Amino acid sequence: MTGSSASPPEPSAPPVDSPFSAPPHEANTPTSDTTETMSRIPTGIKLPDAVANIDTAQVAAKVESFKKWTIGTFKNSKQQLLEHMGKIDKTVDPEFEAQCEVLKDIHRRYGLVVAAAKNFSQVLTQMAEAEKKLSESFYQLSLKEEQIKAQCTTTSETMRGVGEQASSLDACLRYFISSMETVYSQTITDTLHTIYNTESARIEYDVDRNDITAASNPPQGQQPKSLPAGATEKCDEKKAKYEKLKSDARIKMRLLEENRISVVAAQLEKLQSALAAYYSGNAKLLESSVRELSILQTPQPSFIPAM
């Protein structure tokens, strides 16, 4: 026995056929899971190259555009708030604004007509179906009740005719609704869109006008502020845009009134004929009204070209 102690034996690897042995792999060969994970990472793209391909001028232009939009939106919102509070003056055209308010009210009333007509059409559809079902039920009864067959047959035919007339009136009403929806949701709305654009242009003009006024007439004890280059020219351009849109809106409102009255009057006359025919039981006149309404010209979305 020597003075040096023997080192512990190194653990030997388990036999190849041992259940504790790992499956054989080649050196530095990734497993299937690793390979699948690596396959999801796009190859051939390097971060420095991707950054170098960015158009900095385009990004700067977009940032500057967003900055201008944000500042403009803030100024316009501030202008509207101060106008509502009565702390700042605004450009006013009483005659034009009165015409706009009248058109907005007319638009709202057309919406009420369309909604009520749709409700009436639904009732007519349900009533026509109910009358036709009642007619069929009397007919089925007549097949079994020989003693009252004549009365059942007569009642069945009467109810069938009434149901057909209700369907015809519903068809007339649907043609009328289609025309009124065009007037309400497209024709008048097109003119209102121009009016809203005019209001937006007026606010933008007033923002610049008030900025120039505030810079030229500062509070007592303060020096006048210098205006940015081209501020006056920019204000004049916005004023010209506002006046142009206001002129376009006036033309559209005038043409809209002339054409709207003629178109809606024709539609109403045909609908009145259909109602009179229905409630008087004149089936031939009712069918004629259906044909006339179906071929009657539908109003166009806009009576004048875009301006």
| pLDDT tops 70 at residue 46 | no
Domain CATH for 179? 1.20.1270.60
- Domain assignment of residue 24, yes or no: no
Q: Which of 244, 243, 248 is nearest to 191 (CA)?
A: 248
- Domain assignment of residue 189, yes or no: yes
pLDDT of 5 reads 46
- Domain assignment of residue 102, yes or no: yes
pLDDT of 226 reads 72
Contact partners, residue 122, CB within 8 Å, separation at least 6: none
How confident is the model over 27-37, as pLDDT tens digits?
454 555 555 54
Residue 281 belongs to what domain range?
A: 93-114+166-213+231-295
Average pLDDT over residues 175-200: 92
How confident is the model over 113-140, as pLDDT tens digits?
999 999 999 998 998 899 899 999 999 9
232 pLDDT band, cuts 50/70/90, is confident
- Domain assignment of residue 33, yes or no: no
- Domain assignment of residue 110, yes or no: yes
- Domain assignment of residue 179, yes or no: yes
Question: Exposed (0-12), middle (13-18) or buried (19+): which is 68, by Cβ within 10 Å?
Answer: exposed
Q: Which long-range contacts (CB under 8 A, 24 or more apart) does 99-104 make?
A: 99/250, 99/253, 100/195, 100/249, 100/253, 103/188, 103/191, 103/192, 103/195, 103/253, 103/256, 104/192
- Domain assignment of residue 275, yes or no: yes
| pLDDT tops 50 at residue 222 | yes
274: tokens are 């259909």
What is the domain count for the chain?
1
**What is d(CA 71, CA 82) in angstroms, rounded to the nearest whole number?**
16
**What is d(CA 17, CA 1) in angstroms, rounded to the nearest whole number?**
38
